[in-house]
Amino acid sequence: MKLILTIALTLTTLNLKAQDTEAVKTVIDRLFEGMTKRDTAMVRSVFHPTARLQSAGTDKQGTPALTLTSIDAFVKSIGSIAATVTVEERLKS
């Protein structure tokens, strides 16, 4: 009986993880579609109101640095991409 319950719980957990993965992928796909179309409303719609974007990299001296960008600035940058520029983002999986 314990084995059946363990298997059932494992299968349920795997199914929930698959659903969560698909839900996240759907949001990311919507973000990428909005970026491609330069649709600022679509891009903004995927972010929580208090979301922040952080990028890890290095500063001019080569020191590791964390850069914070507001969602408003990111959305504005997407809207200002020239029509002659191709925007193509996709997940690889």
Could you report the per-residue pLDDT of 28-67, keeping only the tens digit for each? 999 999 999 999 999 999 999 999 889 899 999 999 999 9
For the stretch 6-39, pLDDT in tens is 555 555 555 667 778 888 889 999 999 999 999 9
pTM for this entry: 0.73
Distance CA 49, CA 62 (A): 33
Delimit the domains of the chain by residue range. Answer: 2-79
State how far Cα 60 lies from the chain centre: 27
Non-local CB neighbours of 89 within 8 Å, separated by 6+ positions: 31, 32, 35, 36
- 2: pLDDT confidence band, cut at 50, 70 and 90? very low
Question: Tokens in use for 73?
Answer: 């600035």
